[in-house]
Structure 1
Amino acid sequence: MSTSALRQPAAPRTATRDWGRALGRLAMGLCVPVLILIGWQLVGQSPGMAGVVPTPAQVGRAWYDWIFASPGMGLNPYLGTWLSNVQYSTLRVAQGFALAMVCAIPLGLAIGWSRITSLMLDPLVQGMRPIPITAWLPFSIALFGIRDMGSIFLIFLGGFYAIVVNTTQGARDVDRNLVRAARMMGASSSQVLRRVVLPAAMPSIFTGLRIGLGISWTAVIVSEMVAVKSGLGYVLWDAYYVGRMDIVLADMVSIGLMGFISDRLIVWIERRVLVWRMLQNH
């Protein structure tokens, strides 16, 4: 019997092993959420909390109606409005976050690479960075009114500082031997920045993007509670006022879900941009 014939059964065993690992990872990932749901159900059914904390089953029913029910049916103003509110919030996050990327990545590279730029701008960035998003709310309303631009402005601020700080650190941590080698080969300063510093800083940039995107989702909820009249944040605050805690909790789960999906999108892009890093780790 040939050697190749003896090795043929290895493929099914490998596929089975991969499926087993995938199922194991899924089980580990679901273990804690399932325990939380069980504990939540028990708390919601306890005598002191009944009617105060909705159970997962109640939240699930409210979320289902919020998503799938026909708008305008009955006295429930939330029926069938989930998708439109998700679209409003997602569009605002996309606009504010894109603006933050366009401004923060070049600025972070400049601060991290140029000593003069660092001396001029880094103190300003570090001085303004600790100001919380909520402190900018009155200024945003005064400047933009109750409109989308006020929300986009706050989202921009939320993403900007995380991206610029991580980009700056990535540019500062570039191996100087790579820079010297590029200059010995005749590369200009702009070529060194584009072809050496930027690629070397990309892991830090993507870290900043992931952190900034999470803060952007926080900012959109804060802004929609006060500065606009649509989106997940607006529904969250409105449902709290009318005592619909089941909608409040369904809204919170929706926010977490959208944040998770957008984070996975950044990770997916990172894996395709930084192929060399994936190969290096393996």
Structure 2
Amino acid sequence: MSSSLSQRLYKRIERFIVPVLLLAGWETFSRSGILPPALLPAPSQVMLAWADWIFSTDGNTQSYSGRWLSDIAASSGRVFAGFLIATVLGVGIGMAIGWSRQVEALIEPTLQTLRPIPPVSWIPLAIIWFGIADKPAIFLVFMGSFFPVLLSTIHGVKTCDRNLLRAGAMTGGTPSKLLRHIVFPAALPSIFSGLRIAIGSAWMLTVTAEMVAVKSGVGYVLWDSYYFLRYDIVIASMVSIGLLGFLSDYVIKYIAGRVLRWQRGSTLQAKEG
């Protein structure tokens, strides 16, 4: 009984073991004096700065004090806007390319030429086209998120079971009905995989854009605090970005789990068989 209880307890805490050990080692190293505390702030110092950034506890972060929610909202809005545009266009164009060889021949060479271009290389043009505001950040998020969604959608459509398509066609299914009722559901697992990759790219590109082309958001705070040698705020910004990316990925996983319940059921049936 005690062994079973200890196993359940271990399963509850196992995901926290490595982070706790890393924090303890980091705290010990920072306080050892090997590096100046200003260059590598201890986790406790970072937490104090982060708390003031969020709650305006003691004003130690000065102009950033109490601004965390507004900075998070600004960055999240840019991520959501660019990611949404990339999702709509990526899924739509990906479905067309995967379904029609004619569309594939017309569009894919151009897209494959654009795909290797790093999204950050678009920054100068984005600033010229859209100025210093939200639009260049949204554009960069779109450029970074579009291709993962596009390629995963094409893959999902092209790997759809041809027997299902034949069966649907034999029962009188039109191309539009086959796309809507067979191909799109079959491609959803691949699409959700692409969305998870895309949301990570979206956060990276938002932070990059905020360092250069925007005057608000978590990325701007990270870069601005670097100039003032506030490395505790720099690290707090990095941790904030990591947590936001984790939560965004969790939301997509949750939605995928709800939408793809049929896949989980079929997998269980296959295992039982």
Same fold, TM-score > 0.5, yes or no: yes
| 1:11-31 deviation digits (Å, cap 9, x = unpaired) | xx9xxx7x8766433322111
Superposed counterparts of 1:94-243, under 5 Å:
94-243=80-229
Checking the alignment, whether the CA contact within 8 Å between 2:53 and 2:61 is kept in structure 1 is: no
Counterpart selection for 2:241 from 250, 255, 280: 255
The aligned counterpart of 2:55 is 68
2:96 partner amino acid = A
| 1:75-120 deviation digits (Å, cap 9, x = unpaired) | 7111101111000000111111111111110111111111111111
Deviation at residue 74 of structure 1 after TM alignment: 7.2
SS at match of 1:77: helix
The aligned counterpart of 2:30 is 44
1:75, 1:251 → 2: CA distance?
Answer: 12
Deviation at residue 131 of structure 1 after TM alignment: 1.2
SS at match of 2:64: coil
RMSD of aligned residue pairs (Cα, Å): 1.9
The aligned counterpart of 2:264 is 278
The two structures have a TM-score, normalised by structure 1, of 0.90
Kindly tell me: are residues 116 and 25 of structure 1, through their superposed partners in 2, closer, same or farther at Cα, counting changes over 3 Å?
farther
Name segments (4+ residues, structure 1) moved above 4 Å.
19-22
The two structures have a TM-score, normalised by structure 2, of 0.93
The aligned counterpart of 1:90 is 76
Deviation at residue 172 of structure 1 after TM alignment: 0.5
Deviation at residue 198 of structure 1 after TM alignment: 0.2
Q: Does 1:54 align with 2:36?
A: no
1:24, 1:118 → 2: CA distance?
Answer: 51
Moved more, 135-144 or 34-43: 34-43
Matched positions, count:
266
Q: Structure 2 regions of 5+ residues with no counterpart?
A: 269-273
| 1:201-223 deviation digits (Å, cap 9, x = unpaired) | 00000001110011000010000
2:155 partner amino acid = Q
2:257, 2:199 → 1: CA distance?
Answer: 17
1:48 partner amino acid = I
Deviation at residue 70 of structure 1 after TM alignment: 6.1
The structure whose Rg is larger is 1
Aligned-residue sequence identity (percent) comes to 46
Checking the alignment, whether the CA contact within 8 Å between 2:86 and 2:145 is kept in structure 1 is: yes
1:27, 1:266 → 2: CA distance?
Answer: 24
